[in-house]
Amino acid sequence: MNLSNLQRPVTVGRHKRVGRGESSGLGKTCGKGHKGQKARSGGKVGRGFEGGQMPLQRRLPKKGFNNIFRVEYNVVSLETISKLNPSEPITGNLLREKDIVKRSGLIKLLSDGEISAAYVVRLDAVSEKARKKIQEAGGSVE
């Protein structure tokens, strides 16, 4: 710290002294208007309160259900796999490198399309039909 970077201290203004006579501008009702809930001490209106009218969050119908145990898969088809090189095993990392799967998470292989070469598949999940088609083509699922 030196003289070149000194700054004035930030001052917090004095609080307004209310109820100290009419000429102060904040006498009598202290700036709260006349009567009513907001003029009382502790008189706050709750969030979402609409003056006794049925509030919006209760007027709208409840809908849906989110299952916290749901497992979401990135889906890949056999047709997509058949375009890859059969000499290297099909893994999640390979599919992400080739930009076939763009999101992170589990990957499931589905049986859409046909397969002719023998592939070695190492994915999180494989449908029964896809497993059958791979094994008929001479490949394996690990």
For the stretch 32-41, pLDDT in tens is 999 998 899 9
Q: What is the DSSP string of 57-71?
A: HHHSPP-----TT--
Domain 73-141 classification at class level: alpha beta
| Helix residue ranges per DSSP H, the chain | 56-59, 78-81, 92-97, 128-136
Positive or negative, the CA dihedral 67, 71, 75, 78 is negative
Annotated domain spans of the chain: 73-141
Convert the pLDDT of each residue in 44-69 to its tens digit: 999 999 999 999 999 999 999 999 99
- Res 129: pLDDT: 94
- Res 9: pLDDT: 87
- Res 131: pLDDT: 93
- Res 121: pLDDT: 92
Q: Which helix (H) or strand (E) holds 123?
A: none
- Res 40: pLDDT: 92
- Res 13: pLDDT: 87
Coil, helix or strand for 75? strand
Cβ atoms of residues 139 and 122 within 8 Å: no
Ranges of the chain with pLDDT below 50:
none
Coil, helix or strand for 129? helix
Whole-model pTM over 0.75: no
DSSP state of 84: S
Residue with tokens 């890949």: 76
Calpha distance 116→134 (Å, rounded): 8
- Res 76: pLDDT: 93
Cβ atoms of residues 111 and 141 within 8 Å: no
Q: Percentage of the chain with pLDDT > 70?
A: 100
